[in-house]
Amino acid sequence: MSTSVAYYSTDRSTEEDKIRFFSSMDVQHVVAIENKWFEVMKNTALFVYEFDPRDFNLQDEIAGYYISDKDQKPINKIIISNIFDEIFNRK
């Protein structure tokens, strides 16, 4: 079994939580993975499919999950060839 954790700061995060769970006040996202997965992630392309949002409904606000009861066809495909660069460049 592998372990990974991802979390982020929101306007509802307390100052105490920000100090406890983030390395600095400028950091808003954390992704932690097991060391053995570093090379796998470094050498893996990620395919992100974009859909028309009109037929999607918010299922879980905290997780950011949206669902649709209708069949969907992607309107765009983005290939991320370096996952770590993408994570580090996100704000």
pLDDT digits (tens, 9 = 90+) for 40-85: 989 999 999 999 999 999 999 888 899 999 999 999 999 999 998 9
Report field, pTM of the whole predicted structure over 0.75: no
Give the pair of three-digit tokens for residue 90. Answer: 């996100």
Among 37, 39, 34, CA closest to 5: 34
Q: Looking at the structure, do residues 90 and 78 belong to the same domain, yes or no?
A: yes
**Residue 72 structural domain:** 45-91
Domain count, the chain: 2
Q: Looking at the structure, do residues 36 and 70 belong to the same domain, yes or no?
A: no
- Supply the pLDDT for residue 3: 74
Beta bridge partners of 30: 7
64: left (phi over 0), alpha (psi -120 to 50) or beta: left
- Supply the pLDDT for residue 23: 84
Beta bridge partners of 15: none
Give the pair of three-digit tokens for residue 45. Answer: 């392309």
Q: Is the pLDDT of residue 2 over 80?
A: no
- Supply the pLDDT for residue 47: 97
